[in-house]
Structure 1
Amino acid sequence: MVIIDGLNREELMKQLQQSSIHLNAYAEMLLADERFMISSTRYSLHTVELTARNLGFPDGATTEQMFTKAQQLGLKLCPLELAPYLRMQYIDQPEDMEGEVRHNQAPSGSVTVASEPISEEDTFPKGFYLRHMHGELWLRGYCADDLHSWNANDRFIFVK
């Protein structure tokens, strides 16, 4: 279960900083964008972590294919604001020991928060993923076009 505290944008950014959460430029873009909706009400969500393989895609799939399948299974996409709260609460995420750079692929050990993009532009971040590397917790934004294919072992968070 993830608790969304109903913080305003300034309070949320301060809390991320106080929690020693690192952000990449894409995450900063998403958090600063006026389309990034923040609820002023405190609420909680039950989440589930699945791989593309768990969703029935042993060879991987596009974002649309996976999100459609998840919804057919009764899962929902996460509100975008869930990602920073999940990052602050998921402090025991296993560390990425590989540390390898994988271009145009989700980094090893990362967990992508399944959410609707706030922009259709390919150059604007589509969402967030969580990563733990070099002893530091990261909330990172990512860009991907509609043709991007996720690997079978890529991990995602959905709402139950």
Structure 2
Amino acid sequence: LEGKGTGWCTAGHSTAQTQIESGDFYVYYTNDSSGEPTQPRLAIRMDGDNRIGEVRGILPHQGVESTMQEALDSKRSEFGGEADAYRKKSEDMRMLTALEKKCEEDVQFTKNDLILLYEINGTIEGFGYQKDPRISELRQGRNTEEDMLVIFECVREQIAHVPSQINGNTKAYVGQLEPGIFQKLPENLEHVYTSFPEKKIRRENVEIGGKSAEQLISEMEAAGINISNYAKSMLKNREFVPGKNPEEATLIRLTVADLGFKSSATTDQIYERAQILGLELCLADTGPNYRLKYRNQPLNEWIYMGMKQITDSDGSPFVFELVRDDGGLWLDALWAGPGIK
């Protein structure tokens, strides 16, 4: 692999030795003009016998070329359930390639095409270590105002940009969050953004209450969800008091920037701003219940629960944290003192 320009760290001797010791390493080549397999195009590194460690191609950020997709899918099928983690990535890349071809042929995008391109229903996942550059390239130069009308199936007057424009016919809200905004937004309003398409405000219902800490732990373990020692300590803390009866809670997912902060903010500042917007803190068992529901979390996403902190034996305050990393889904804990940013 040395001198081939792949950018793969495996081209180094020490890294290659370490990776090969961890499992098999498959490299797919294409032939040169003499019919010799000389150009590496796709690498699949195994972590153990049946677990795919990573997949790398030779596109920018080591993305996989569309021409190598068939080879990847064929190899992936050998690993049963383990391959499921890569199925979405493979499908996303296939659909993104189809959009790229449409663009080259000057074919108009459909509503479903735009939903994919703007990641309305979920993040486009690829095999590179950064976001596929084709996403921004395909979005560049498009009229997002016109595209929103297609995606939301509405006319301009049905997209509100300030709270005073919200009415019974509103299909989407794209604007800043102002005090009391969440009391003004209709419950059935699905599309809420501070900026389209990057800053979507996600609202989701989750059932909370009616389960003890022991039940929650048992259900998470049965589902293969990892629970850190800190999170287990929170669940067993006397301050963790789940609701007695099941009820439905509406969760609002916000970033610090959505709340109006230009840089980082302390826990107290975040909670105060959320209250001004008309939100309440989550109950203690919301995090574990949401962890059980939210199984399709994107890789390397962290979600922190806005909740009354639970203090450990040393008096340190923690909140629940939902994570998905290479080790799978996690219920973890984050130190969240009042003045911590």
Same fold at TM > 0.5: yes
1:49–1:135 Cα change, 3 Å? same
Partner of 2:318: 126
* Counterpart residue type for residue 142 of structure 1: L
* Structure 2 unaligned residues grouped into runs of 5+: 1-204
Deviations 1:101-135 (A, max 9, x none): xxxxxxxx201010011338875341111001115
- Name the CA distance, whole Å, in 1 between partners of 2:254 and 2:321: 14
- The answer to whether 1:143 aligns with 2:335 is yes
> What are the equivalent positions in structure 2 for 1:62-101 lying under 5 Å apart?
62-96=266-300
Residues 67 and 52 of structure 1, relative CA distance in 2, 3 Å threshold: same
TM superposition shift of 1:12:
1.6
Identity of aligned residues (%): 30
Instruction: Report the Cα distance in structure 2 between the residues aligned to 1:5 and 1:77, rounded to whole angstroms.
Output: 15
Residues of 1 paired with 2:315 and 2:233: CA distance? 11
Aligned partner of 1:34: which letter? Answer: R
* Aligned residue-pair number: 137
Partner of 2:232 in structure 1? 28
Letter in 2 for 1:87: R
When structure 1 is superposed on structure 2, of 79-88 and 125-134 the one drifting more is: 125-134
Preserved contact between residue 112 and residue 130 of structure 1 (Cα < 8 Å): yes
Q: Which amino acid aligns with 1:124?
A: S
CA distance 1:125–1:139, change in 2 (3 Å): farther
Question: Quick one: distance in 1 between partners of 2:255 and 2:314?
Answer: 24
Question: RMSD over aligned Cα, in angstroms?
Answer: 1.8
Q: Deviations over 1:37-78 (max 9, x none)?
A: 012211110111000000000111101001100000001110
Hey, what's the Cα distance between the residues in 2 that align with 1:12 and 1:120? Answer: 19
Residue aligning to 1:111: 303
**2 CA distance for matches of 1:53 and 1:122?**
32
Q: Deviations over 1:71-101 (max 9, x none)?
A: 00001110111000000101111111xxxxx
Q: Is the contact made by 2:209 and 2:285 (CA closer than 8 Å) also made in structure 1?
A: no
8 Å CA contact 1:131–1:138 kept in 2: the answer is yes
Distance 1:42 1:67 in 2: 25
Equivalent position to 1:59, from 260, 263, 270: 263
Q: Partners of 1:53 and 1:132 in 2: how far apart? A: 22
Report the CA distance between 1:144 and its aligned residue: 3.3
CA distance in 2, matches of 1:133, 1:113: 18
Contact map agreement 1:122 1:144 (CA 8 A) in 2: no
Instruction: Give the Cα separation in 2 of the matches to 1:84 and 1:117.
Output: 14
Amino acid at match of 1:40: K
Q: After TM superposition, what 4+ stretches of structure 1 lie above 4 angstroms from structure 2? A: 120-123
Structure (1 or 2) with the greater helix fraction: 2
Tell me the SS of whatever aligns to 2:270: helix
Give the Cα separation in 2 of the matches to 1:63 and 1:120: 17
**1:37 aligned to 2:237?**
no
TM-score, length-scaled by structure 1: 0.79
* CA deviation profile, 1:6-49 (whole Å, cap 9, x unmatched): 11222221111111111111101100111100122111101110
The residue number in structure 2 matching 1:157 is: none
Contact kept in structure 1, 2:237 and 2:312, CA below 8 Å = no
Q: Which TM-score applies when normalising by structure 2?
A: 0.38
> Where does 1:12-23 land on structure 2 (aligned, <5 Å)?
12-23=216-227
Gapped regions of structure 1 (runs ≥ 5)? 97-108, 150-160
Deviation at residue 142 of structure 1 after TM alignment = 1.6
